[in-house]
């Protein structure tokens, strides 16, 4: 369930009108609902209650300090993929000691930083990485806790750019070589085998691939418990969200807008399918959800700059662009676009929704049908809380957008729109170009 809905004509986030936020902080601006995040977190945790469960929020989905703090307050740990994300956890008051450090290309400096912060475990993706972590742990006089990411070779049936559990992906170690990798890890004096990890992809909308992957690795997990006394099994993240009709489904409650028999995936379906498989292991279970926790908790508010009527086509030109929200350009992703002020008396408009960036790819949607909106009016992209701001860039020297967090009737700017001065702060004109 999310907390974006029309109250009268006006679209609100919890108790706050989006138009009030835009009036104060301008556009484009990401707006997040604290209550939606809390609901998602608690609902997922409840679906696996009874297990020794630790939710490590995959913060690459949204790593803004206020969001990280909110998760820390809810009791979450973190799944982090860079030294920068580790610094964010620490800066936001999150528990690095309960968090896991993932990623295929950890540098020496990142490994060192992870060890110094006493992360719960490193999720290792190759044998050279085992060697590297062992070496650095030795230098620091520490023992590095590790788990190896195994690649179960299942098809997550999602977009090619976000599937990770097939053998042709760069991620993890294929199941058939995993025993060898663990045997190698066991020989390194500065490593401690703490667990095992997998993650098969993102935006999964069916429970089947999760079940298939868990079933496939279960015998191996038990073998690891027997051989090395591992204490946890991380089943990764990847639970998908609703992008189509996101606004309407949210008011009824997430996937719940569909009749019970047609719901492809809910936390309850996920939990009840996985719990019977995971409970008998007697291990701590880690989840690494990103998108599920924050995706439907954020919108991107934008203003219509121009309505351009071309030959047989209308273009809605927004002040948001692919640099602010890259998912449509990068993954052909769908985001529902809704007017911030609803007016059912207006006719429908069919338009290509585009941004001002000088690229044909700067297109959010083709031939989208929505309520007619005019120059200067506000629109909102739904389900933009995950992989929105974190994937934004400054392409075309466009400032990073602002971010606002709403809680009940309160809202606060949690990340100011970037200024030109901060954009160019690291730049200089070299002496040999001075005149
Ligand atoms: C990206 C990632 C996640 C989170 O994926 P979501 O689809 O956002 O849940 C979890 N674990 C690992 C290892 C990842 O790379």
Question: Six-digit token pair at 297?
Answer: 């908790």
The β-bridge relationship of strands 298-310 and 313-318 is antiparallel
CA of residue 237 to ligand 1 center, whole Å: 5
Atom 1 in ligand 1: which residue has the minimum CA distance?
58
Average pLDDT over residues 197-218: 95
Distance 33 CA to ligand 1 centre (A): 21
* Ligand 1 pocket test target in 44, 54, 61 with most atoms within 8 Å of CB: 61
Q: What percent of the chain has pLDDT over 70?
A: 94
Does pLDDT of 251 surpass 60?
A: no
> Is the per-residue pLDDT at 373 higher than 70?
yes
Tens of pLDDT, residues 286-304: 999 999 999 999 999 999 9
CATH class of the domain defined by 297-423: mainly beta
pLDDT band at 250 (very low <50, low <70, confident <90, very high): low
- 288: CA distance to ligand 1 center in Å? 6
Q: CA nearest 161: which of 149, 169, 172?
A: 169
Are 341 and 379 within 8 A, CB to CB? no
CB atoms within 10 A of CB 39: 19
Q: Which fold has domain 34-290?
A: TIM Barrel (3.20.20)
Q: Is the pLDDT of residue 100 over 70?
A: yes
3-state secondary structure of 369: strand
Q: What pLDDT is stored for residue 94 in this prediction? A: 98
CA distance readout (Å), 313 to 230, 352, 369: 60, 8, 12
Give the position, in ligand 1's atom list, of the atom nearest the Cα of 123. Answer: 13
Q: What is the pTM of this model?
A: 0.95
Q: Which residues line ligand 1 (CB under 6 A)?
A: 58, 60-61, 79, 102, 199, 202, 236-239, 288-292
Place of tokens 């058939």: 176
Diameter over CA atoms, the chain: 74
Cα–Cα nearest to 255, from 112, 47, 25, 26: 47
Neighbouring residues of 135: CB distance < 8 A, sequence distance ≥ 6 = 190
Q: For 25-49, what is the mean pLDDT?
A: 98
Q: What is the mean predicted confidence (pLDDT) over 423-431?
A: 97
> Quick check: 124 pLDDT over 70?
yes
In whole angstroms, give the CA distance from residue 107 to residue 111: 6
* β-bridge partners, 91: none
Of 101, 201, 202, 293, best ligand 1 pocket probe by most atoms within 8 Å of the beta carbon: 202
Active-site amino acid positions: 358
| Rounded average pLDDT over 136-148 | 98
As a whole number of angstroms, the distance between CA 317 and CA 295 comes to 24
Res 160: pLDDT: 67
User: How does the average pLDDT of the chain come out, rounded?
Assistant: 94
57-75 residue pLDDT tens: 999 999 999 999 999 999 9
Q: Report the alpha-carbon distance of residue 100 to residue 423 in Å, rounded.
A: 31
Q: What is the rounded CA–CA span in Å between residue 331 and residue 383? A: 15
User: Which candidate, 356, 347, 263, places its Cα nearest to that of 302?
Assistant: 356
Distance separating alpha carbons of residues 289 and 240, to the nearest angstrom = 9
Confidence of residue 256 (pLDDT cuts 50, 70, 90): low
Task: Classify burial at 240, counting beta carbons within 10 Å of its beta carbon; exposed 0-12, middle 13-18, buried 19 or more.
Answer: buried
Ligand 1 pocket test: which of 78, 79, 200 has the largest number of ligand atoms within 8 Å of its C-beta? 79
Domain ranges of the chain: 34-290, 297-423
Q: β-pairing, 191-197 with 144-151?
A: parallel
Is residue 259 pLDDT above 80, yes or no? Answer: no
| Residue 368 confidence (pLDDT) | 96
| CA-203 nearest atom, ligand 1 | 7
From the alpha carbon of 201, which atom of ligand 1 is closest?
A: 7
User: Which atom of ligand 1 is the closest one to the Cα of 164?
Assistant: 15
What b-and-e string marks burial along 82-116, b requiring 16 or more CB atoms within 10 Å of the CB?
Answer: bbebbebbeebebbbebbbbbbeebeeebbbbbbe
Q: How far is the CA of 240 from the centre of ligand 1 (A)?
A: 11
Residue 401 alpha carbon to ligand 1 centre in Å: 24
């Amino acid at each position: 369930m999310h907390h974006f809905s029309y109250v009268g004509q006006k679209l609100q986030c919890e108790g706050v009108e989006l138009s009030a936020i835009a009036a104060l902080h301008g556009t484009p601006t990401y707006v997040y609902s604290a209550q939606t995040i809390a609901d998602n977190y608690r609902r997922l945790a409840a679906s696996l209650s009874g297990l020794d469960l630790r939710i490590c929020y995959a913060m690459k989905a949204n790593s803004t300090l206020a969001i990280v703090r909110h998760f820390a307050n809810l009791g979450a740990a973190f799944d982090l993929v860079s030294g920068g994300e580790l610094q964010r956890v620490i800066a936001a008051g999150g528990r690095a000691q309960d968090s896991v450090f993932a990623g295929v290309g950890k540098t020496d400096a990142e490994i060192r930083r992870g060890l110094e912060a006493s992360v719960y475990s490193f999720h290792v993706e190759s044998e050279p990485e085992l060697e590297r972590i062992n070496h650095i742990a030795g230098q620091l006089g520490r023992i590095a806790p590790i788990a190896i990411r195994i690649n179960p070779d299942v098809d997550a049936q999602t977009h090619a750019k976000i599937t990770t559990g097939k053998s042709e992906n760069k991620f993890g170690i294929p199941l058939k070589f995993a025993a060898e990798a663990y045997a190698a890890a066991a020989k390194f004096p500065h490593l401690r085998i703490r667990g095992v990890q997998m993650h098969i992809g993102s935006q999964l909308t069916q429970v089947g691939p999760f079940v298939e992957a868990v079933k496939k690795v279960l015998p191996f997990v038990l073998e690891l418990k027997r051989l090395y006394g591992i204490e946890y099994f991380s089943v990764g993240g990847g639970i998908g969200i609703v992008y189509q009709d996101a606004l309407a489904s949210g008011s009824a409650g997430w996937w719940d807008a569909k009749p019970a028999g047609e719901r492809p995936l809910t936390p309850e379906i996920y939990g009840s399918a996985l719990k019977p498989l995971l409970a008998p292991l007697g291990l701590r279970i880690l989840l690494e959800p990103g998108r599920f926790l924050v995706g439907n908790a954020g919108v991107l508010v934008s203003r219509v700059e121009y309505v351009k009527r071309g030959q047989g086509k209308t273009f809605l030109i927004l002040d948001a662009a692919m640099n602010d929200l890259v998912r449509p350009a990068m993954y052909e992703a769908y985001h529902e676009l809704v007017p911030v002020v609803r007016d059912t008396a207006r006719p429908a408009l069919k338009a290509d929704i585009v941004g001002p960036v000088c690229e044909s790819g700067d297109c959010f949607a083709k031939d989208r049908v929505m309520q007619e909106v005019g120059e200067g009016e506000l629109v909102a992209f739904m389900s933009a809380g995950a992989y929105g701001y974190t994937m934004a860039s400054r392409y075309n020297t466009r400032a990073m957008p602002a971010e606002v967090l709403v809680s009940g009737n309160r809202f606060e700017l949690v990340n100011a729109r970037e200024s030109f001065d901060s954009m160019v702060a690291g730049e200089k004109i070299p002496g040999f170009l001075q005149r």
